[in-house]
Structure 1
């Protein structure tokens, strides 16, 4: 899906580092635009400079990185990223916010204007071809209501991404980083591991946002590996097995995968072929088990 791509224009000064937004600047920008954060778009704007600096430091981006940011909002994290990365491409679904971002960059990071572009689009619908380049790192304060789908979609679609550091609801962060056998281990945990090593990377309090959310936030990092096939069809097969295994997570895999395999007997046969106990449950399996199981379904 193509969106509207806007660049910030040529740099006007050689000041080395961007200025960052604080609470007063965030409110001034919102008032100027007539913006009230909406739950529909999952908007909570970070207004603490130390928090965005910490996110950028934890992401570990440098001048060699081209960063993909989702949901830049008023530009708090964007400005901090421009101070460290080689370039930033932001994807913003709200056309009002997207249209204001180039001016914000011109005002607060004039030396980095040429390193910034914004795409007005839904991150759930974009593909790599919609972007102006090949990003190496995803760094984002993801809207809570679509955080996991956006993360998995972008890791699937943008093959050039080597790392991802996302801020999500703390409960979601725990789920993404959960290990097999844990209480919150589930579909997001397994699918995230298809792309690489997943780890919890810190906590973020409520008081750094406007408006202040009712939940805590957490950082999750993914370091891409090439352990599993990147092609779309292989990933579709693996994700299909994962979905089936957790659709009825209280059932044994022999029963839970009966529909996927065609019958309980066929499910047991494929489970044994993959070296998996048919009486186990989905939460006991790691991503390697699901990949092995998906491969048994090949003709």
Structure 2
């Protein structure tokens, strides 16, 4: 897998205004995306849902690794960039510009799909989105980057339905703008009793 430069620094130099209401921060390097993906332990050719795909750095890494990617991004300003990152992968890549809470996940995911996402850096929003996507029985596992406070909140709310495990950290400087708080890389697995 070759790497291409991530566009975050270019967007920063052009004065792109991130949306604070969406908790936007963009991954600055493909190498960081590869490190995140390696922690996911995904089976070959897995279908992956990415919530908040942003500029497509992680999306492209997922597709380059041979997985099928469904990149969902709420900010319509990022449509062209995200589409450009994924066009070459044809039917293995799908882009949806919408709020994931309005998307028919059950209709678009295969059984045993995975969530791999850099969640918004707002703890309440990140945990709400994780809870929402895991209402789909087709998602059985996930790997997310979220703020430490989001990890605490998610752990308190998950109950017996989801197993939550911190597997790594990631540097604040790996993002533009730099993350305002400590971040965690977290593995999520639906408990077998809760799979349908």
Q: TM-score range by the shorter chain?
A: 0.7 to 0.9
Unaligned 5+ runs, structure 1:
1-16, 177-187, 231-299
Question: Could you report, residue by residue, the CA deviation over 1:240-294 in whole angstroms, capped at 9, with x for unpaired residues?
Answer: xxxxxxxxxxxxxxxxxxxxxxxxxxxxxxxxxxxxxxxxxxxxxxxxxxxxxxx
- Is 1:94 aligned to 2:75, yes or no? yes
Structure 1 position 135, deviation (Å)? 6.3
Larger strand percent: 2
- 2 CA distance for matches of 1:220 and 1:82? 21
Looking at secondary structure, tell me which structure has more helix per residue. 1
Q: Name stretches of at least 5 consecutive residues in structure 2 with no aligned partner.
A: none
Give the 3 Å change call, closer, same or farther, for CA 45–167 of structure 1 in structure 2: same
Q: State the partner residue of 2:10.
A: 28
Aligned to 2:128: 149
Q: Out of 53-62 and 87-96, give the one that drifted further.
A: 53-62
Give the 5 Å matches for 1:1-299.
17=1, 19-22=3-6, 25-29=7-11, 35-106=16-87, 110=88, 112-129=89-106, 131=108, 136-145=113-122, 146-156=125-135, 158-173=136-151, 175-176=152-153, 188-228=154-194
Runs of 4+ in 1 over 4 A off after TM superposition: 29-32, 132-135
- RMSD of aligned C-alpha atoms? 2.3
Does the 8 Å contact 2:47/2:109 carry over to 1? no
Provide the rounded CA distance (Å) in 2 between the counterparts of 1:89 and 1:228.
24
TM-score normalized with structure 1 length: 0.59
CA distance in 1, matches of 2:195, 2:44: 29
**TM-score when scaled to structure 2?**
0.87
SS at match of 1:59: coil
Q: How many residues align?
A: 194
